[in-house]
């Protein structure tokens, strides 16, 4: 699972990037790595471990809800610029803007 969000407001000098990548480790636990910072910079990374997929799902939902409140907090909203097909319904359900290349929006057969 991968989600990449960006918030851009040139007039406010705000160029933010937020990425979440999640997968299983060698022991079967779920690992999530969140990277955030200014677009074009290395940024900071935080690792989170979960025993089951339900814990990961709760974490992803909470993190996306936090990104959704960015308009109120920093004056600019985040948009999805890259996402795994499995995450697109959640992004739309939460009301996050989705600006993906058309090839990514095609559902796998």
Q: What is the pTM of this model?
A: 0.87
Our separate counts of H helices and E strands in the chain read: 3, 6
User: What is the three-class DSSP state of 65?
Assistant: helix
78 token code pair = 């985040």
DSSP state of 92: H
Residues with Cβ < 8 Å from 24, sequence gap 6 or more? 30, 31
Query: Please, what is the end-to-end C-alpha distance for the chain in angstroms?
Result: 17
pLDDT per residue as tens digits for the range 48-81: 999 999 999 999 999 999 999 999 999 999 999 9
């Amino acid at each position: 699972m991968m989600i990449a969000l960006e918030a851009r407001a040139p007039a406010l000098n705000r160029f933010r990037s937020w990425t979440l990548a999640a997968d299983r480790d060698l022991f079967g636990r779920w690992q999530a790595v969140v990277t955030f910072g200014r677009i074009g910079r290395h940024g900071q990374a935080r690792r989170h471990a979960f025993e089951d997929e339900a814990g990961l799902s709760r974490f992803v939902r909470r993190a996306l809800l936090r990104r959704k409140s960015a308009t109120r907090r920093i004056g600019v909203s985040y948009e999805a610029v890259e996402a795994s097909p499995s995450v697109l319904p959640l992004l739309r359900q939460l009301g996050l803007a989705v600006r993906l290349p058309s090839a990514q929006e095609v559902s796998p057969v």
